[in-house]
A = this chain, B = another copy of it.
């Protein structure tokens, strides 16, 4: 199968496949006489593995490490689960940050009574206040909610 077909089956761009090969995440393929890459089901499996890991938020470096662990039968899988633990912890922190962010943005949104000129906008004022180090409208709002 040619690269276009593989890309279609895996649901990614041909450029991504070439990039993964270049980065050592996919085995080098056989080539046709004219230099076209020839892929097999084995490559589709490898590609899906990488894409799936990417969708779980792993970096290419981590995926490479995981790939190396697959072939290295001497190590126990403690390393693998440690890596997953790391991912989970990272996601946890990200979620927390996102929630805080959401609260801040929502408070910020509530500062605005549209249809006033931008110079009067509560959002802008709040952002500017925050920059000055004073307690901004956001923080006041967030504080109120907490205190309740």
Residues of A within 8 A of B (CB): 45-49, 52-53, 56-57, 66, 69-70, 72-81, 84-85, 87-88, 91-92, 94-95, 98-99, 101-102, 104-106, 108-109, 112, 114-124, 127-128, 130-133
B66 touches A124 (CB 8 A): yes
- The one of B88, B114, B130 in contact with A76, judged by C-beta atoms closer than 8 angstroms, is B114
A84 touches B46 (CB 8 A): no
- The one of B66, B81, B109 in contact with A84, judged by C-beta atoms closer than 8 angstroms, is B109
- The one of B84, B91, B118 in contact with A77, judged by C-beta atoms closer than 8 angstroms, is B118
The 4 A-B pairs at the shortest CB distance, nearest first, are namely A77-B121, A49-B131, A48-B131, A81-B112
In the complex, A102 Cα to B84 Cα: how many Å? 10
In the complex, A121 Cα to B70 Cα: how many Å? 9
- The one of B49, B75, B98, B117 in contact with A73, judged by C-beta atoms closer than 8 angstroms, is B117
In the complex, A85 Cα to B70 Cα: how many Å? 45
In the complex, A94 Cα to B52 Cα: how many Å? 18
- For A106, the chain B residues whose CB sits under 8 A away are 88
Contacts A45-B132, A123-B77: A69 and B105 contacting too (C-beta < 8 A)? no
